């Protein structure tokens, strides 16, 4: 018999369906299964699989058609859950198991490396993390928690000059620090606080102008 040509391959939809049905029928059965039904006392071939338990969704038990129907009819994912646990799960499902917070408030605590409520939502879909790229070692954006030493956004050139006029670094985070430095300089330079003397009127003018710029800036948290 001459060898079959690699080009002699039917790529039609009908042929593809026929090939798929050889391993798994339209009813969900695995036709090539050689397992015995796991139902006690049943010796029929187990061609249908079902999750072992809610805690072991990726481990399967194998049944015949009659017993897989009975097994599924009695299946209850929430059978051992308390009312409190179910209520928490329903609330999480409404937001796709992602943390939420009030608009403009931000998260109450650092999110760390877990953008989902449980941190491994991918596992529920049967994915395995052999190279540890989805779990705690994932290269996810840790958010605000790892960025405490950096300014919230890039300052404008005018704001940078105002910070220089007050002698402050551009990484200052709070308006309170800016106000404290401004008041310190005013005490040293303002004539009303120095017995009528004005040691450096030009710098005083810069300090007053710098504060007017920075007090309206959105680069500070408070």
pLDDT of residue 154: 72
**Backbone phi, psi, residue 59, to 5°:** -105, 135
Record the tokens describing residue 43, joined without a space: 């010796």
Query: Does the model's pTM come out above 0.85?
Result: no
pLDDT tens series, the chain, 222 aa: 566 666 676 778 777 777 665 554 445 677 667 788 999 999 888 989 899 888 888 888 999 999 999 999 988 888 888 889 888 888 888 877 777 777 766 665 555 544 444 556 666 666 777 666 666 555 555 555 445 554 455 788 888 888 888 888 887 778 888 888 888 888 887 777 667 677 777 888 888 898 888 888 877 776
pLDDT of residue 188: 81
- b/e burial code for range 83-106 (CB count within 10 A of at least 16 → b): eeeeeeeeebeeeebeeeeeeeee
CB count within 10 Å of CB 185 equals: 20
Crossing angle (nearest 10°) for helices 175-189 and 157-166: 50
Q: How far apart are CA 112 and CA 102, in angstroms?
A: 19
pLDDT of residue 121: 63
Q: How far apart are CA 136 and CA 168, in angstroms?
A: 38
pLDDT of residue 71: 92
Q: Residue 180 burial (CB < 10 Å; 0-12/13-18/19+)?
A: exposed
Q: How far apart are CA 153 and CA 156, in angstroms?
A: 9
pLDDT of residue 102: 74
Please name each of the domains of the chain with its CATH number: 20-73 (no CATH), 157-214 (1.10.287)
């Amino acid at each position: 018999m001459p060898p079959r040509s690699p080009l002699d391959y039917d790529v039609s939809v009908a042929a593809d369906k026929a090939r798929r049905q050889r391993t798994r029928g339209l009813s969900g059965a695995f036709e090539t299964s050689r397992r015995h039904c796991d139902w006690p006392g049943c010796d029929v071939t187990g061609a249908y699989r079902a999750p072992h338990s809610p805690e072991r969704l990726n481990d399967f038990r194998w049944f015949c058609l009659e017993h897989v129907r009975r097994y599924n009819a009695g299946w209850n994912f929430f059978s051992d859950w308390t009312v409190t646990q179910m209520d928490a799960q329903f609330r999480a499902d409404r937001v796709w198991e992602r943390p939420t917070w009030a608009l403009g408030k931000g998260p109450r605590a650092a999110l760390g490396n877990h953008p989902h409520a449980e941190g491994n939502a991918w596992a529920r879909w049967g994915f395995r993390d052999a190279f540890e790229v989805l779990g705690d070692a994932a290269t996810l954006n840790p958010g605000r928690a790892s960025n405490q030493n950096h300014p919230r956004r890039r300052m404008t050139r005018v704001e940078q000059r105002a910070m220089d006029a007050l002698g402050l670094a551009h990484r200052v985070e709070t308006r309170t620090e800016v106000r404290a430095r401004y008041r310190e300089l005013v005490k040293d330079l303002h004539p009303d606080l120095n017995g009528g003397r004005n040691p450096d009127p030009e710098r005083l003018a810069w300090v007053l102008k710098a504060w007017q710029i920075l007090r309206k800036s959105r680069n500070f948290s408070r």
